[in-house]
Amino acid sequence: MATFGVISLVPILLLGVFLTRTVRSALETGALASYGNSVQLMTGGMTNLVLTPEAFATGALTPESAALLAKVTQQLVGPKLERLEVRLVTREGKVFWATKPELNAGVVPPSPAFTDAINDKLDARFAVVGGTRIARFYIPIKFAGNPQVVGIAEASTSDTVATQAVNGRLRAIYLVLVIGLVGLWMSLFPIAMGVARVLRRQVEENEHLAMHDTLTGLPNRNLFKDRLDQALSRSTRSGHHTGLLFLDLDRFKEVNDALGHRQGDELIKLIAHRLVSAVRDADSVARLGGDEFAIIVPDVSNSSTLVVVAERFTELLREPFEINDITVNVEASIGVALYPDHGEDADTLMQHADIAMYAAKDGGLDYAFYSAENDSNSPVKLALAGELRRALDNDNELVMYYHPLVDLHTGDVTGVEALIRWNHPTRGFVYPDDFIPLAEQSGLIRPLTLKALDLSLAQCRRWHDQGLDLRVAVNLSARNLREPDLPDRVAALLRRHGVPASHLELEVTESGLLSDPDYANTLLCQLSALGIHLALDDFGTGYSSLSYLKNLPVNQLKIDRSFVNNMSEDATDAMIVRSVIDLAHNLGLNVTAEGVETLNQLDHLANLSCDTIQGYHLTKPLPADEIAAWVSGYNEQASQNTEGRSRSVRNPVSIPFQ
């Protein structure tokens, strides 16, 4: 505050200096002008009484006139005019009389002041001569009978009287000026300090908001990461362990939808309060977003301490919450990781706590410790995860291949399934079975899915512009079905590429619906409302009930290839395929059979009225630039072979196995 006061006083002082100089200059100018007018009157009267225009014209005076001038000049000196020295000068600058003999010589050099006097303009200014400050005047001399300037009187006198008058006024003005500026500073200082306090509070609030969750006031992900780094550094120095717990509420979306978002927010705040009340001062609770929390437990001797902490949280959350007279029961899944056993840096520890949390959720457990059995991340896999993260930002590594789908009723190629491939710069093509689970575990599945959608929709647009009308099917993972912003993301990509929603099909698996079926159903309804086609992939391998199936907003079922491959030899598999087709048709759904590899399988499916087939009997998955040529070749060969079928139906059997 003192510093601000001193700094704010500086401009006030500078303003004071500027004003005093301006005022002094104005007063001196005014005093000089007034003084000059007086001297002009005296000099003019003096010369008019004694001299004639001829004297200036000839540049000579009679002795009588010279003596009279000297006498009159001496009489003009008084209290207000301490000293007066006068020289009479012709228009040409010749001095022909002066009050002092030593001044009566030479020629006045040309100057702006002399020129002004010739042009009938009084020139008055202060000058320093011989170390003495004087007032100097060039006074035009005119006579009543001769209005033109006939000569010039150069007069100079001490400026003591004028200076005293100026100084007297300045003292009064300075007093008023100082009082005014000090008063101004004193009135502005509290205002400025108030503004500074408001701005400081605003900065502090902004810094707090940048590092804390706005709903609960808990540290957010940024501050949490910083605290975790600090905790791990202390653990390294002390030799103790640090525990990290990731906590995710189970089926919070259902509670949120039932109570409303406002009450859902209230529940989140109550949960945050309980978590904070159950930890030590050294522990740190953070909200990472949504219904996910993280707890840092430093200075842990062994994993048994974290077991106690996890069980305490589990029991704490099982106690019902009361919100507006409504009793709400909450459960959570907790993932636990221990430093340095489960990771030697913050990112790895967070990743492993996240994996453990999903292991607990998938296993129906209250909590689970990180285990390598739940994580296929060997050192090679960890390196691969880092390379996959880099590949997501590289337009050349992740590419899409497309597997055509053919309508058995019309023989038309109706669409393609998009399959992402990783063309690693040193490893070559990495199998999807190697990097898709890795993406699931490392949290990269979200950007990977968005990448696949982006590339596929861009290709769909290019095909459409080429006159090739194909629907593109893209797979969604189980984690994608827990992303509340997925419909908005997909809608934005459709708009970006100008692709109608009906040209996009999203495939979900039964197993992907199991972790939170109601929330997944809500998400699928939002996608369906956009006009997107939905397919239930690998049907028959999951555990969906028929009552749940009938409520899903899907357009078709895809029979898993394991049933299609064996249906010609295994009567049970054939019965399952028949049952699935009949069930789907009764529910108003289309059926796609995956993994069709033989002509026998194709004929069997055609006899069962299967709608669409996909498999190596048609072709292997192809790069985007080969699809148009394959479709053209397929159409040409199919149109040449219609024997054994209706002339209006193309025969996909005519395409040989490739």
Determine which of 141-150, 423-432, 586-595 has the lowest per-residue pLDDT on average.
141-150
| pLDDT tier, 657 (very low <50, low <70, confident <90, very high otherwise) | very low
Same-domain pairing of 478 and 602: yes
Q: For residue 354, what are its two tokens?
A: 């996240």
Task: Establish if 580 belongs to a structural domain.
Answer: yes
Mean pLDDT of 580-608: 90
Q: Are 476 and 506 in contact (CB under 8 A)?
A: yes
Q: Is 192's pLDDT higher than 80?
A: no
Looking at residue 81, what DSSP letter applies?
A: B
Residues 6+ apart with CB under 8 A from 192: 4, 8
Q: Which of 166, 183, 211 is the last residue of a domain?
A: 166
Q: Tell which residue, 109, 211, 199, 185, has the closest CA to residue 154.
A: 109
Q: Give the CATH number, domain containing residue 514.
A: 3.20.20.450
Q: Is 18's pLDDT higher than 90?
A: no
Q: Is 313's pLDDT higher than 80?
A: yes
Dihedral sign, CA of 518, 519, 520, 523? positive
Q: Are 313 and 332 in contact (CB under 8 A)?
A: yes
| pLDDT tier, 77 (very low <50, low <70, confident <90, very high otherwise) | low
Q: Is 531's pLDDT higher than 70?
A: yes
Same-domain pairing of 37 and 145: yes
Predicted pLDDT at 491: 95
Q: Give the CATH number, domain containing residue 8.
A: 3.30.450.20
Q: Are 276 and 296 in contact (CB under 8 A)?
A: no
| pLDDT tier, 291 (very low <50, low <70, confident <90, very high otherwise) | confident
Residues 6+ apart with CB under 8 A from 110: 93
Mean pLDDT of 96-106: 75
Other C-beta atoms within 10 Å of 121: how many? Answer: 12
Q: Give the CATH number, domain containing residue 270.
A: 3.30.70.270
Q: Is 376's pLDDT higher than 70?
A: no
Q: If you average pLDDT over every residue of the chain, what do you get?
A: 79
Q: Is 219's pLDDT higher than 50?
A: yes
Please tell me whether residue 62 adopts helix, strand or coil conformation: coil
Residues 6+ apart with CB under 8 A from 278: 312, 313, 316
Predicted pLDDT at 646: 42
- φ, ψ of residue 127 to 5 degrees: the values are -145, 160
Same-domain pairing of 150 and 243: no
Maximum average pLDDT range among 150-159, 180-189, 494-503, 532-541: 494-503
Mean pLDDT of 277-290: 87
Task: Establish if 203 belongs to a structural domain.
Answer: no
Predicted pLDDT at 647: 35
Task: Establish if 427 belongs to a structural domain.
Answer: yes
Query: What total of structural domains would you count in the chain?
Result: 3
Q: For residue 294, what are its two tokens?
A: 């993280």
Other C-beta atoms within 10 Å of 254: how many? Answer: 13
Q: Give the torsion through C-alpha atoms of 48, 50, 56, 60, to 10 deg.
A: 180
Determine which of 6-10, 178-182, 267-271, 642-646 has the lowest per-residue pLDDT on average.
642-646
Predicted pLDDT at 649: 37
Name which residue leads in pLDDT, 386 or 529: 529
Task: Establish if 207 belongs to a structural domain.
Answer: no
Residues 6+ apart with CB under 8 A from 384: 430, 434, 435, 438
Task: Establish if 331 belongs to a structural domain.
Answer: yes
Name which residue leads in pLDDT, 49 or 631: 631
Q: Are 545 and 533 in contact (CB under 8 A)?
A: no
Percent share of the chain, pLDDT over 90: 23
Q: Tell which residue, 501, 448, 515, has the closest CA to residue 476.
A: 448
Enter the pTM of the model: 0.48
Predicted pLDDT at 495: 95
Same-domain pairing of 481 and 629: yes
Mean pLDDT of 319-347: 87
Mean pLDDT of 369-395: 73
Same-domain pairing of 371 and 459: no
263-276: pLDDT as tens digits:
888 888 999 999 99
Q: Which domain holds residue 580?
A: 397-651
Q: Are 422 and 388 in contact (CB under 8 A)?
A: yes
How far apart are alpha carbons 396 and 62 in whole angstroms? 112
Same-domain pairing of 370 and 410: no
Q: Give the number of residues written for the chain.
A: 658
Task: Establish if 171 belongs to a structural domain.
Answer: no
Predicted pLDDT at 655: 42
Same-domain pairing of 493 and 632: yes
Same-domain pairing of 130 and 84: yes
Predicted pLDDT at 8: 56
Same-domain pairing of 466 and 598: yes
Predicted pLDDT at 470: 95
Task: Establish if 598 belongs to a structural domain.
Answer: yes
Q: Which of 375, 408, 432 is the last residue of a domain?
A: 375
Task: Establish if 363 belongs to a structural domain.
Answer: yes
